[in-house]
């Protein structure tokens, strides 16, 4: 397929940013990856015609790449801008983008997770930095490697502006990608962040099987994982409602769908499994080798829960796992307490049930 004249800029050249860029190029657009200071290795392999360093797959021949400081007209002339940077670096990167501007663009936020200082969602941060621009939240079960490979995928575009969400959906829709739209931005963004917390909790239950599994029948703790998943869905529903979101969003792609794939194949689920099996937090992060959003998302979720006077047992249990030493050989009581905290909502003896306000 030749270029159809549409111009797409992708802020961030990591796995998801690159996948969105390649997908856009396959759909007929000319896409340019706008690398950050952390994407130097990506710029290097793109210039040398080598595969992406983390995805191990080639770039599309209609995907360009600009190093940090060289975004220029690639951003300014874009019809659509995907933002695919970590939540920790979002405000800084958007400030750089705002200094260039993209006057004709719809901005699609693929970043997931709250700002750790303000507890704002990505769209709220973007509105604060960029001003009055069309904003869309992109969510749903879309692993970067599968999107890049052209595997069947369903995603959700959320925006209060019908024009913006339908423009984003038109750019994303392909024979392999089905796109749904909603006006429930609060629900979509809350689900997108909190699912990382729940995935860590589900991973913890699976990791516990390495310590407690005494037979093949108990090896994977399937019952425990299912119970934690269910508790996580209840907590997600409560948090979404407190933020003004809708239950239908929790039960759809942004909630249940994204949570399922994150538990099965995402970094946060893997991180939980490592912690449950005996890794330290730092050791687990080093083993994964990239950002684990669930760590910061847990603290933010508890902050939002405090504001809304909610109890989120899933987040409390993950916070305990992140702050207690559960790496030794004699920690069975602590691990069982974590599981019971999640499933029943009952805190372990001596635990603080509500974070400081």
Residues involved in catalysis: 195
DSSP 8-class letter at 266: S
Beta partners for 63? Answer: 31
189 burial via Cβ count (<10 Å: 0-12, 13-18, 19+): buried
Beta partners for 31? Answer: 8, 63
CB 186 within 8 A of CB 120: no
Whose structure tokens read 């490979």?
A: 149
How far is it, in rounded angstroms, from Cα 89 to Cα 343? 34
Whose structure tokens read 């080093």?
A: 286
Angstrom distances, CA of residue 232 to CA of 89, 172, 295: 27, 29, 16
CA-closest candidate to residue 76, choices 39, 122, 115, 32: 32
CB 151 within 8 A of CB 223: no
CB within 8 A of 213, min separation 6: which ones? 219, 220, 221
Q: Is the dihedral of CA 241, 246, 252, 257 positive or negative?
A: negative
Reading the block at residue 231, the tokens are 């508790």
Beta partners for 10? Answer: 33, 82
234 burial via Cβ count (<10 Å: 0-12, 13-18, 19+): middle
How many other C-beta atoms lie within 10 A of the C-beta of residue 183?
Answer: 14
């Amino acid at each position: 397929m030749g270029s159809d004249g549409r111009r797409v800029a992708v802020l961030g050249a990591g796995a998801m940013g690159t996948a969105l860029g390649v997908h856009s190029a396959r759909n007929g657009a000319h896409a340019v990856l706008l690398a950050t200071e952390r994407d130097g290795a990506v710029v290097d392999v793109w210039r040398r015609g080598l595969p992406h360093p983390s995805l191990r797959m080639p770039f599309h021949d209609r995907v360009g790449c600009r190093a940090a400081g060289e975004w220029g007209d690639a951003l300014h002339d874009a019809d659509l801008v995907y933002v695919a940077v970590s939540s920790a670096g979002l405000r800084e990167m958007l400030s750089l983008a705002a200094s260039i501007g993209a006057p004709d663009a719809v901005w699609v936020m693929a970043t997931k997770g709250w700002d750790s200082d303000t507890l704002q969602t990505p769209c709220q941060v973007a509105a604060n930095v960029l001003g009055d621009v069309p904003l869309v939240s992109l969510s749903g079960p879309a692993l970067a490697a599968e999107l890049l490979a052209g595997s069947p995928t369903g995603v959700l575009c959320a925006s209060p502006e019908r024009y913006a969400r339908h423009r984003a959906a038109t750019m994303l829709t392909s024979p392999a990608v089905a796109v749904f739209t909603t006006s429930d931005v609060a629900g979509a963004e809350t689900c997108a962040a909190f699912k990382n917390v729940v995935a860590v909790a589900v991973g913890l239950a699976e990791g516990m099987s390495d310590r407690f599994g005494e037979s093949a029948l108990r090896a994977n703790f399937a019952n425990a994982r299912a119970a934690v998943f269910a508790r996580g869905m209840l907590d997600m529903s409560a948090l979404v409602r407190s933020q003004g979101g809708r239950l239908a969003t929790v039960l759809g792609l942004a909630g249940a769908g994204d949570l399922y794939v994150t538990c099965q194949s995402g970094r946060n689920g893997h991180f939980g499994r490592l912690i449950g099996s005996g890794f330290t937090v730092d050791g687990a992060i080093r083993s994964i080798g990239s950002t684990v959003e669930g760590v910061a998302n847990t603290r933010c979720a508890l902050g939002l829960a405090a504001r809304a006077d909610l109890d989120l047992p899933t987040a409390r249990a993950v916070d305990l796992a992140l702050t207690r030493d559960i790496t030794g050989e004699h920690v069975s009581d602590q691990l069982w307490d974590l599981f019971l905290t999640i499933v029943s909502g009952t805190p372990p003896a001596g635990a603080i049930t509500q974070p400081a306000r």
